[in-house]
Structure 1
């Protein structure tokens, strides 16, 4: 294991020579003109982008304290279609196939059925209609991509009996996006009156918005047909009622305005847009500075506009926002507000560079709002510190070879950054500093050490070091004993305060110390113990082909490390397991980083009295120990305490188990956020910090900045 000197000693060594040479206490400046920095950025909040990203919901609910304007976004310029009052909610969904479970004049009955369906589906709706002079409510489930999928859902809900006890005015059926159309009408009032006329003929009718000659108009869509045969019957019913309607051009985008009652029986307009029309894109713009609240995204409020469309059959929501305002939230979501200003500025430039480096990486958006890109939690996450850092570095990005760099960063490099060529994704990114020491120990500051201890019962766990004292006594094996100082002291399975106690110990309880370890943090951590079955299952989810673990997992060892000490190759039962890129070992092992060591608690060598050796777990047969009375007995399941020739005590296990210890949190490439904090506390400015973690880059600013 590598040993590291304290960071305050690094300044006196050659390892930071480049950093020291670039350090200036004068205000940092950026070159102008070389970088192309756009004014806005597109952030996908919900979208189905295949294997790259998937976060979907059947409907979204928007509102704004100052009100909103809804527009057709596909038109150039965009065409406003509706004003939403201050504080009023409006919903959006896909006009797809659905199971129509119930139609009733009793709202309470509809809400009761809705509640049953919502127990196992998030795609349940109650819609208000006017039919035969009465108000009725339809309970539907799903926004399916096909009639057959909706039929299967209808069969499932019918079999489950969710409508039992509720009298339906119409039999359960499959609804679809096919409809007839009447209009256009000069106003919403006229369109609603027309919808009532169709409803009086016992037809489902909804007001909708369309564009006609580049201008928004109201129309009425009649019916919810799932196939052409149903649409033909619908046309016959319209003619029989003495009314007129046409089959609309499928290429024309529309938005059905349903009267949605799903939210506690409160009426809300729901715009349903077609799945098969790429021009059916709506946009919501806030009327004031309060932003737009997206209820389904943890009720967060976002600056900028919201674009709503259908992508790959699912509802997609993209937040188009001023780039700098986007960064207000990103910087605050990625690092703590109390960190030094220079660390905040470094994060701002790295985040801006990263966001712009890959272009439209998510088909309809540059980035997503999760750590798959970088964390973006809207207005509520912003702090005065993050805003100041973004404004102080406005428009600044890092470039290499004339291009904005993909400035990846991680939370904590564990004392040394990674080498991408060998240790992470095997990319040859010349602008990423490889295996440079990083002052990441901040999470450990002020944290006590812990003792791994054994009780007289054989139980093993961890106790905080400040809750133990030297007892001045030894056990029969001559090992020093510690005693618990306090009542109800927790013995925990991991050296962390949030781990549920194994048991509570009384004052004066004697324990055998096995080792002293740091408290669990993002800098230093311990995971496990894992059973062989648990670890094999996790590894095999990510292992490829013939390299999967066959049979029982007995041994697991690091076979090769990269320049920073991160895992490059691991062998199970003596054979190399391939999980693809080395960074995938984080997921396979369930660890914070790949800068780790594996302790095989079930692996040890026993030397008998005649000098013969048995290797466990490879050796067959039980392990037997010889007591002081000369009697032998087999060691059962559980811990086995081994005293080696040097007098060191080790807690082993009679079956293969694994404890993984390591340093850092994340892939370790580029800037370490905790390292940036450490450097800033040493007096380095943000440019020096960035140029330490990203080699030979230029910090440039858009010529219009």
Structure 2
């Protein structure tokens, strides 16, 4: 296959012609047509099936300003607690749990906890009162099924994590089935009632419920995992002369536990939610809420925690523009032109709103599955200014806010969504238009792909080589190393660890000259046949998976922008679904690529017969300049240098290997972020930039603005 060399994009006549119709002056914005909400819902953790899955067993919330906790259910919302500044509260499912140990020794409990925390984030110690004493239960939870908890319990008992510690009870599976007493007029009364159940050797916790839309205190007694355990619990409670009922399983509640979660033995209020309950944390000031499990990031707006599809879900409900402060700053670089930042703000706002509640309980998620959202710490002054300057503005086509997809770098030309990416038909996306994306390449040096006398092939920065004035035995020019201890790297980038270091004056044979590796122009590989076969087969349909050894890999179809639409392996078409899936299958930044098959070549033997590799199997006998024959192939890792009839030298391999060259980063549809910067640098305003990348669309502003 052809090995294409890429050079940084210039502002071509075609690009200039396409932009000529766009004014440098801002156009009028249409008011009233778009319906832009004030807030947006962002799923940070949730199980939403194939669309998104990011799971945690507990959510740890805190705020420098303090928080107000609100309990919500189908009966309404009601405040239940005020959290002090800096205090952490934890929220978890009231599900099934593996109770590994119960002890009166807090240090022993913490010791076992530390062992469990080495391999799970779901371990905790609960402090409670039983038979007049304070005891500590070490457990892992909350699982959505008893079987999952039983499996965890088996693992911990088998590992002997509680070995040497005398337990007050037998290790067991606990569950969310409990008896209920109350309601009580105050938390104090509920705590006293919980102690009475504890004196009867029954675990008991204060809980909150809604009654008539108002929060009340109750006690939930017991941790039964099934109906037989619940029946036994009822007998124990009745024998102790205590009154409690079996509540309907659909009644929402939140249990308050005191859990120890660190080696210091500090307790944190833990709220365990029933399947129908939801807890909302509202910040008391401007400093936002920290979610420890998301890299300790702090977010504006409220945090909602609930159970969804059997797992804990955390949703950030936040002012739309405040959400965009972080998105714009997370998606593009600080210091970029203001018009590029504004273009990103409008595109991100449109994208976020275009699909409605696309994630069941949220509009978007916080990763690049939607768009990057990293909380308050990511915000920049430029991003905030861009969002506020475009507040309420969205891209509209056909009376609807468009799904304004964007990518990092289009590699000089945007994609055609009909044939090249997801095979859609969205007329608002400009197709195969040139994009000034070469920014990452600016100021970068070219690199030489070169061969050493040992046969090793690697890359050397161009400023570290000079013409030696000499040629080798094949009459090929030689370059000499001009510096000392020069890095000879496996790829054209400083981030690649050197293969070796070269001394000043060493001679090398130049094979190629390529741009430095960036998100605009890049080279990946070489990949072995087995590496690519494994990666491709993970994504290929069963009927089209590669069988046997991967010998050849050819691009046999490209769309209008030059992106891959079809690839054949060993002469047969491989189906990976939408063409954009080739990015994952090949492990590349984009699908604007070419594939060099280094093990594919033709050689004329001494008998004049032409042998096509790799169609011909077996080893290859090569006669060197010294007259000695060498065997190459059959598993040999040696490089082979092929001189074409036109005098071009090529590094080949006797066994199938593959080098992929390409341009761009991302799917390439819609706005290119680097292209937006390039257009802004040329003086175009954000409206012109958006109209360039989103065809047949208008920019409209919410009528309420």
TM-score (ref. length: structure 1): 0.97
Matched, 1:600 2:589: no
1:647 Cα shift? Answer: 1.7
Question: Which residue of 1 is the match for residue 135 of structure 2?
Answer: 136
Partner of residue 451 from structure 2, selected from 445, 454, 461: 454
Question: Which residue of 1 is the match for residue 218 of structure 2?
Answer: 219
Matched, 1:436 2:427: no
Which residues in structure 2 correspond to 1:453-532 (within 5 Å)?
453-532=450-529
Partner of 2:33, secondary structure, is: coil
Question: Which residue of 2 is the match for residue 403 of structure 1?
Answer: 400
Question: Which residue of 1 is the match for residue 99 of structure 2?
Answer: 100
Alpha-carbon distance in 1 for matches of 2:326, 2:27? 23
Measured against aligned partners, the alpha-carbon deviations of 1:218-268 in whole angstroms (never above 9, x if no partner) come to 111111000111111111111222221111122211001110101332100
Root-mean-square deviation over aligned CA pairs = 1.6
Question: Which residue of 2 is the match for residue 29 of structure 1?
Answer: 28
Higher alpha-carbon deviation: 123-132 or 335-344 = 123-132
Give yes or no for contact 2:181–2:219 (8 Å, CA) kept in 1: yes
Count, aligned residues: 699
Which residues in structure 2 correspond to 1:242-253 (within 5 Å)?
242-253=241-252
Give yes or no for contact 1:565–1:595 (8 Å, CA) kept in 2: yes
1:424 Cα shift? Answer: 0.2
Which residues in structure 2 correspond to 1:543-582 (within 5 Å)?
543-582=540-579
Question: Which residue of 1 is the match for residue 580 of structure 2?
Answer: 583
Matched, 1:375 2:372: yes
Measured against aligned partners, the alpha-carbon deviations of 1:174-206 in whole angstroms (never above 9, x if no partner) come to 100000111111221221122112112211011
Matched, 1:619 2:619: no
Partner of 2:34, secondary structure, is: coil
Question: Which residue of 2 is the match for residue 696 of structure 1?
Answer: 696
Q: CA 1:702–1:681 in structure 2 vs 1: closer, same or farther (change >3 Å)? A: same
Which residues in structure 2 correspond to 1:49-64 (within 5 Å)?
49-64=48-63
Alpha-carbon distance in 1 for matches of 2:222, 2:73? 26
Give yes or no for contact 1:37–1:702 (8 Å, CA) kept in 2: yes
Alpha-carbon distance in 2 for matches of 1:234, 1:7? 75
Give yes or no for contact 1:19–1:691 (8 Å, CA) kept in 2: no
Structure 1: which 5+ residue stretches go unaligned?
Answer: none
Partner of 1:256, secondary structure, is: strand
Give yes or no for contact 1:73–1:307 (8 Å, CA) kept in 2: no
Partner of 1:342, secondary structure, is: helix
Give yes or no for contact 2:63–2:289 (8 Å, CA) kept in 1: yes
Higher alpha-carbon deviation: 166-175 or 484-493 = 484-493
Alpha-carbon distance in 2 for matches of 1:595, 1:9? 20
Structure 2: which 5+ residue stretches go unaligned?
Answer: none
Which residues in structure 2 correspond to 1:180-219 (within 5 Å)?
180-219=179-218
Alpha-carbon distance in 1 for matches of 2:306, 2:47? 11
Question: Which residue of 2 is the match for residue 680 of structure 1?
Answer: 680
1:482 Cα shift? Answer: 1.8
Alpha-carbon distance in 1 for matches of 2:499, 2:274? 56
Question: Which residue of 1 is the match for residue 282 of structure 2?
Answer: 285
Question: Which residue of 1 is the match for residue 117 of structure 2?
Answer: 118
Give yes or no for contact 1:258–1:272 (8 Å, CA) kept in 2: yes
1:476 Cα shift? Answer: 2.2
Q: CA 1:475–1:4 in structure 2 vs 1: closer, same or farther (change >3 Å)? A: closer
Matched, 1:300 2:319: no
Alpha-carbon distance in 2 for matches of 1:538, 1:359? 34
Alpha-carbon distance in 1 for matches of 2:583, 2:182? 59
Measured against aligned partners, the alpha-carbon deviations of 1:625-652 in whole angstroms (never above 9, x if no partner) come to 2245655432251201111122211110
1:18 Cα shift? Answer: 4.7
Partner of 2:21, secondary structure, is: helix
Q: CA 1:14–1:479 in structure 2 vs 1: closer, same or farther (change >3 Å)? A: closer
Alpha-carbon distance in 1 for matches of 2:14, 2:161? 73
Which residues in structure 2 correspond to 1:586-665 (within 5 Å)?
586-628=583-625, 631-636=628-633, 637=636, 638-665=638-665
Alpha-carbon distance in 2 for matches of 1:703, 1:8? 41
Question: Which residue of 1 is the match for residue 670 of structure 2?
Answer: 670
Higher alpha-carbon deviation: 74-83 or 523-532 = 74-83
Partner of residue 329 from structure 1, selected from 326, 329, 348: 326
Measured against aligned partners, the alpha-carbon deviations of 1:54-86 in whole angstroms (never above 9, x if no partner) come to 001000100011111111233576211111111
1:7 Cα shift? Answer: 5.7
1:14 Cα shift? Answer: 4.9
Q: CA 1:14–1:540 in structure 2 vs 1: closer, same or farther (change >3 Å)? A: closer
Give yes or no for contact 2:6–2:521 (8 Å, CA) kept in 1: no
Alpha-carbon distance in 2 for matches of 1:586, 1:294? 32
Give yes or no for contact 2:600–2:656 (8 Å, CA) kept in 1: yes
Question: Which residue of 2 is the match for residue 229 of structure 1?
Answer: 228
